[in-house]
Homo-oligomer: A and B are copies of this chain.
Amino acid sequence: MARMQRISRRGMMGGVAAGGAMMALGGSAWAAAPDLKAIRAEVDKRHDESVKRLQTWIRQPSIAAENRGMEEGCKLTMEMLKDAGFQTATRMPTDGQPGIFATLDAGAKRTVGMYFMYDVKQADPSEWMSPPFEANLVDKPGFGKVLIGRGATNQKGPEATFLAALHAIRGAGKKLPVNLVLVAEGEEEIGSPHFPQVVRKPEVLSALAKCGEVWMPFNSQDPDGSVTIDLGAKGIIECELVSTGARWGRGPTKDVHSSLKAELDSPAWRLVMALTTLVSADGNDPAIDGWYEHVKPLSDHDKAMIENAAAKQDEKQVMKQLGVQHWVKDLNFKDAMLRLASEPTVNIEGLVAGYTGPGGKTILPSRAVAKLDLRLVPDQTAADCLAKLKAHLAKRGFGDIEVNMTGGYDPTQTAEDSSLIKAEQAVYRRHGIEPLMQPRLAGSWPGYIFTGAPVSKPGGHFGLGHGSGAHAPNEYFVIESSNPKVEGMAGAAMSYVEFLYQLAAMK
């Protein structure tokens, strides 16, 4: 649920060269690249097989929130990894759903870390034009042939495309230019609560210590072919605040008739009163004691990146997409984008109390719940912020309100001059794409597990190709692109091939 969700803002962005066709190779870092044509031929030859592999994967839903198909999904993923050349792929038990630890030793000098997820978000079939777990191929005007299904872009599509790249390299008779250490989880969509248990196993830590970086395959291209590289992402705490008569010791312990309000306390009113203490009167700034203690301001360079991005976007178009007329506090577009990258937030995802159906029902509810997500920025940590939230409530006499953290993690940040980011830039540029650099994604992904101690490696996402609809109905992945600026599955696979060779060549 707390996955990285890119906000598609970049459709109006200028400055993107007409990429898509493979550019001439060049530069010293590229010297080690083999004859890519042979590998591309293998990608094309194995295209149907690659699509079928993705379809097989999507047709096995693994939804942690519903505890559905998890063991099957874990097993299938391990089989696919081994099939693609990983010598080991081990099920890693956790207190929740199992993770995977896989290694591919190619006898190469450089070892690269990778992050996979095998779970997907829930899907309500009634909202889909093509059933979410059938993975049908459909013509999408302006895009070409797309595969529709839950996980098509988040994240099975890019992951299966990376596996297609491995098959193609091997099929072309080439040796993989890097060794791979891969960790996967089945709980990304519920906030990765147990993924640290996988990564912090001694054998995994020791394998990751040998890696230069850790990355995840990703459909980076917007519909106009442009790419943004985010150097980090906000952290997140997802939690429920639960007010009950039972814990409070006041108000009813079961729902009672609403006429009794005159003589009984209300857990719902208590929740409302507690909530108001968490933010400023306009609902926009966290007001939790000590919340800004570790908040690091943006650097001038960060600000310049954001100002550059703001200048390249059409504010009106962005507002229209979001259905808004004003930025918070009536900020201008640039300041709104600066705030988006720099400010922690306390957001209400949901409110649930008492009767929630049509009309009314005369009850005094014994329980009220606010679902919050709190976005964190460097150098806040989820553990410290959770403790601060609880202390804030306790200090104001709301200590009985349960704070149930359901998922979350620290912010993540990777240096612009790291091997990972440089390699990404090099491949994108070779495709004629000048990536828009951004200091931080306002969304979240569990990159801190790799960028924070004890692993402490550069972490990020890479990949050409396009998909959209993550968490929404009709999620899709472009298989055969009708848009010359956007790569289909084969072009995306080739971007992964190039990326591995590029990483092999990095210092």
Report A's interface with B, CB cutoff 8 A.
1-2, 5, 7, 65, 190-191, 234, 236, 238-240, 245, 249-254, 256-266, 268-273, 275-276, 279, 281-284, 322-328, 331, 336-337, 339-356, 358-366, 368, 371, 373, 375, 406-407, 441-444, 471
Bound together, the chains give a CA A271 to CA B275 distance in angstroms of 11
Bound together, the chains give a CA A325 to CA B267 distance in angstroms of 13
Cβ A350 vs Cβ B354 within 8 A: yes
Cβ B339 vs Cβ A263 within 8 A: yes
Given known A-B contacts A326-B249, A351-B268, A361 and B260 have beta carbons under 8 A apart: no
Cβ B444 vs Cβ A360 within 8 A: no
Bound together, the chains give a CA A256 to CA B281 distance in angstroms of 22
Cβ B260 vs Cβ A442 within 8 A: yes
Cβ A283 vs Cβ B270 within 8 A: yes
Q: Which of B284, B366, B443 contacts A259 (CB 8 A)?
A: B443
Additional 8 contacts, C-beta under 8 A, given A7-B257, A190-B359, A273-B283: A250-B325, A256-B323, A258-B349, A259-B444, A262-B345, A263-B340, A348-B365, A360-B406
Cβ B347 vs Cβ A355 within 8 A: no
**Copies of this chain assembled into the complex:** 2
Set of chain B residues within 8 Å of A327, measured between Cβ atoms: 263-264
Cβ A1 vs Cβ B362 within 8 A: yes
Cβ B258 vs Cβ A328 within 8 A: no
Q: Which of B254, B353, B362 contacts A2 (CB 8 A)?
A: B362
Given known A-B contacts A262-B328, A263-B339, A442-B262, A360 and B371 have beta carbons under 8 A apart: yes
Q: Which of B238, B356, B361 contacts A356 (CB 8 A)?
A: B356
Cβ A353 vs Cβ B353 within 8 A: no
Using CB atoms, name the residue of chain B closest to A239: B360
For A253, A262, A339, A340, the residue with the greatest tally of chain B CB atoms inside 10 Å of its CB is A262
Set of chain B residues within 8 Å of A471, measured between Cβ atoms: 361
- Separation in Å of the A106 CB from the closest CB of chain B? 37
Set of chain B residues within 8 Å of A349, measured between Cβ atoms: 258, 354-355, 360-365
Set of chain B residues within 8 Å of A65, measured between Cβ atoms: 358-359
Cβ B269 vs Cβ A279 within 8 A: yes
Cβ B348 vs Cβ A269 within 8 A: yes
Bound together, the chains give a CA A366 to CA B343 distance in angstroms of 21
Cβ A264 vs Cβ B328 within 8 A: yes
Q: Which of B262, B342, B365 contacts A343 (CB 8 A)?
A: B262
Bound together, the chains give a CA A272 to CA B375 distance in angstroms of 20
Set of chain B residues within 8 Å of A281, measured between Cβ atoms: 273
Set of chain B residues within 8 Å of A236, measured between Cβ atoms: 362
Pairs of residues from A and B, 6 with the lowest C-beta to C-beta distance, nearest first: A269-B283, A253-B323, A350-B354, A259-B442, A268-B348, A261-B347
Bound together, the chains give a CA A238 to CA B359 distance in angstroms of 9
Set of chain B residues within 8 Å of A347, measured between Cβ atoms: 258, 261, 266, 364
For A236, A238, A352, A359, the residue with the greatest tally of chain B CB atoms inside 10 Å of its CB is A359
Given known A-B contacts A256-B323, A268-B351, A328 and B359 have beta carbons under 8 A apart: no
Set of chain B residues within 8 Å of A364, measured between Cβ atoms: 347, 349
Set of chain B residues within 8 Å of A339, measured between Cβ atoms: 262-263
Q: Which of B272, B348, B406 contacts A276 (CB 8 A)?
A: B272
Cβ A340 vs Cβ B253 within 8 A: no
Bound together, the chains give a CA A271 to CA B328 distance in angstroms of 16
- Separation in Å of the A325 CB from the closest CB of chain B? 6
- Separation in Å of the A337 CB from the closest CB of chain B? 7
Given known A-B contacts A360-B349, A361-B1, A272 and B283 have beta carbons under 8 A apart: yes
Cβ A443 vs Cβ B257 within 8 A: yes
Set of chain B residues within 8 Å of A328, measured between Cβ atoms: 262-265
The 11 listed contacts between A and B (C-beta, < 8 Å) are A2-B362, A190-B359, A250-B324, A259-B345, A263-B327, A271-B351, A348-B365, A349-B354, A349-B360, A360-B373, A362-B373
Bound together, the chains give a CA A269 to CA B280 distance in angstroms of 10
Using CB atoms, name the residue of chain B closest to A250: B326
Bound together, the chains give a CA A254 to CA B327 distance in angstroms of 15
Bound together, the chains give a CA A326 to CA B249 distance in angstroms of 8
Set of chain B residues within 8 Å of A253, measured between Cβ atoms: 323-324
Using CB atoms, name the residue of chain B closest to A6: B257
Using CB atoms, name the residue of chain B closest to A272: B275
